[in-house]
Structure formats: C-alpha cells, structure tokens
Structure 1
C-alpha cells in the first residue's frame, strides 16, 4: 500500500504534488523552475525576466541550473525569447477547439485577430496516399492551398489543404487566400461540413516548415491531420496543419454542455 505524505498547497493548480517524486529528491534545475513559475506570476505577462546572474543570486544556485530551467519554460511557452531584447513572460496559449469550426472562428472567440500569408496555390494530382484518404483514383486533380497561419500578426502555424477539384470548379475564382477558406466554402459555394476525422500528434518541423513558421527545427510541433466530408459521407478535403506547440493548445468537450 502506498504511504500518503501530507503536503501543503492547493490541489489542481499544476502537476500533481508539484511534480516532486515521493522520495523528495529533484534535480536542482527543477527546483529553480518551480520558483521561477512563482516569479512569473508576480512579474505578469510581458515583463522582462531578470538576467541569469540575477536569478542565480536570487535562488542561490548556479547559472547552469537557471539556464536549464529557463530553457524548459521557453519550450513550454511560459517564456519567450526576443533576440537582442531579452526573455519575456509569455501570455496564455491560444486555444483552438477540436470541432467543425475554422481557424478564424476559433481565434476570434478569444479576441485574437487571425491572418494568413499565402505560400502555395496550385492544381496538383493526387498521389496514392492522398487518393486513398479521399476515396479517389490516384492522379485525380486536386486544389492545393498552403498558407502560414498568423495570430495578431505572429506566425503560429502552417496549413496545407487539399480539395477535390471536381467538387469545387469555381473555388479559385471566388477564394481570397487571406480570408477564411471555410467561410468561402460555406457562404459562396454552399458547402455543408457534415463531419470530419481529426488526428493530433507531435513531430518536428522540416527545415522548410521551420523557416516558413519562424521556429527552431529542434522544437516540438503539434500536427493536426483532418479529413472532412459532406452530408453524402464522401470526403472532399484533407488538411495538414502544423502548429507551434509553445503557442497553441487544443480543447474539446465531452458530453452535453452543462
């Protein structure tokens, strides 16, 4: 039977038991990280983090421990580095719903202005994998739209959408790449999204993707892979969206709304 250890503090405000093992021994950098989190709460969003030397003196530790703790918090999106300016306390992550709503709708609900920068707009033929996902014959004509996703002007992701060309013969005539694709499909072409299957996983960006998004290729990314279909049950869209994990999180609701 596991022995229960009495602990101070409030439950549910972070990792269970603040991430500290039952034997109580933690790496020095992690102890610094816990204290840094308290400091970030005191400083507030947008505040400049003190220097490594100042933090090492404040916490009575080595600069190496501070450096590792700060690096962890940058990876988690709690801190943001700006070259030549320093390290700043980051704001909360953007939350994107796992639902049949567009990127535009998801951000505007949070008071954030969405944007897009067009990378590719072309007609291509479907390879075997894409054709299989959309129940097509290999070589079927597709419309490919690739765009950098922005949030308040900041690059946060890269979206690559493939649509069955035969289903949308006038799309390129009415579509504005800087606006919501889903709004265009719904309002101008009368498309009804009846359902979708979505998969979320972590991965590293390719050098090309990292350059377009403006991130370090060594940082973990969130990959969303979606296939959508209409009322007839036939899929017509495949989307691959790559997001900076430090800037976005995803949410879904299970069960009825209370």
Structure 2
C-alpha cells in the first residue's frame, strides 16, 4: 500500500531565467513528486560519497527523508538507469563516470583504454552459420554462403558492460577459428595479422531493451535501457569487411563524435 505521505509533491523555489529551459526537471508551478525530491538529495549524497561509496539502506533513507521505502526505491531506480549508482552484492554504491566511446573507426579495446580502463571480452561462441538474405546483402556475398558469428560479452575492468556480435565471411577469413584469440581485439587481428585496413563504415544507433537472454549475459535487469549500434565496415577497396551488432549498457556508456561545418 502506498504511504499517504507520498501523495503530495514538494514545494521548490521558482527562480530561473525568463526563457531558459525548465529548471532541472522542476515544473513551473514549483511542485515536484516526492521521489524526485528524494532523488535530488541522493545525488548530493552520492557526490559526497564518491565512486564506490555505499548508500545507506532503503529503510535508513526512508527514515532520513521522511518518505515511504517505495519512494526511495523509485528514486534509486532512476539513478540506476542514469548510471549514477550500481548494484554491488546486496547493496547500492556510487558509480563512476560513464565510459565515452568515440563514434569512429576504432575498436572497443582502444576506446576503453583511452579512459584508463582495462578492456576485456568473454567468448560466448564462434560459429559458422548461413548468411541469409539481409546479411548477405550487407557483406556482398551469397545468401547461402557461410559466415562466422563471433559473440562476446564486453568487459571494462572486469565489469560486464555490453554484448557484441560480429559477422564476417568465411570465404574471406577461412582460418578465423584457428588463428584468432577471442579475448583480443578483432580490429587489431585484422590489421596486424591479415593486413586489413578499415576506411569507412555505416552505423545506426538506437535505444532498445535487452532480450531476457541478453540481459542475463550482460548481467542487467531487462528493463534497463540499452544503446544498440549496428555497423557495416568497409576496407580501403570499398569491400564490406564485417557487420557488427553491439549492445551497450545505457547506464555505463555514452558516445561522442566530432562535428565540423560543411
């Protein structure tokens, strides 16, 4: 049953500059839901705690803020989605800043290393499968031609942060199963061992929810928003090299790019 204390909003000072955006999510009438007021106070507490600092229990927070535990729970859920906190064992701790992955022709490994994190991958499977019509068109091969499907969990400092599926032509890379170390960078393997140079890519980004299987592999709740990247990369001759489907945790990743005028 909902606590009657949480049926009303909280007053907030008006303030703000005329014509400015809505102030930090606070409506113009100055009344905000109780959970949002708690969330704002928790954000200040997280700044004090620093990365890895443990939040008090729901019971203690409810007593501190004078609200029901469900109100605290809702505030913490939003902070989880935003990546401000993460679960650790049976508790909740302050999370570090999101990982910034550049939207460019660099590997996941390079992007994570630039931020002082240790990249890693955990192999789910490396299998030969028929291409099918859509994948065949993307890789410029026959629909019945075989492709390698390389599926790996992405890690940053041993934390599971994503899931990556890579498809390449078996005819072009016949010895992938024998020669490639699945714990290493696929881009580095293609570049250093096979002399493949990437020149261009088409990439699409969207927000999705993980399937139950994906959520289990990444170790997240199914309701956590994900960032999905679909990419087809080409070499310097314009030939398709790979088709990659990368699923990143929305609470742990952001993407950056550099834009210039025409």
Q: Is the 8 A contact 2:139 2:168 kept in 1?
A: no
Does the CA-based 8 Å contact 1:220-1:245 persist in structure 2?
Answer: yes
Listed as ranges, the matches of 1:37-76 within 5 Å are: 37-76=43-82
CA distance, structure 2, for counterparts of residue 94 and residue 67 of structure 1: 25
CA RMSD of aligned residues (A): 1.9
Gaps of 5+ in 1: none
Hey, what does 1:82 align to over in structure 2? 88
Distance 1:95 1:45 in 2: 17
Separation of aligned partners in 2, 1:53 and 1:215: 24
Q: Say whether the 8 Å CA contact 1:135–1:235 is kept in structure 2.
A: yes
CA offsets 1:43-82 (integer angstroms, 9 cap, x no match): 1111111122322233233322212111111121111122
SS at match of 1:19: coil
Q: Which residue of 1 aligns with 2:171?
A: 166
Deviation, 1:214, is 1.4
Checking the alignment, whether the CA contact within 8 Å between 1:125 and 1:138 is kept in structure 2 is yes
Match of 1:146, SS state, is strand
Q: How does 1:109-124 map to 2 (within 5 A)?
A: 109-124=114-129
Q: Secondary structure at the match of 1:17?
A: coil
Say how many residue pairs are matched. Answer: 246
- Looking at structure 2, the residues matched to 67 and 216 of structure 1 have their Cα atoms a distance apart, in angstroms, of 15
Q: How far apart are the structure 2 equivalents of 1:231 and 1:240?
A: 22
Q: Does 1:236 align with 2:241?
A: yes
TM-score, length of structure 2 as denominator length: 0.88
Segments of structure 2 that go 5 or more residues without pairing to the other structure are 1-13
1:1-258 superposed matches below 5 A: 6-7=15-16, 17-84=23-90, 86-255=91-260
Corresponding residue SS for 1:168: coil
Give 3-state SS (helix, strand or coil) of 2:24's partner.
helix
Contact 1:95 1:249 in 2 (8 A): yes
Shift of 1:159: 0.6
Instruction: Tell me which stretches of 4 or more aligned residues in structure 1 moved more than 4 Å.
Output: none
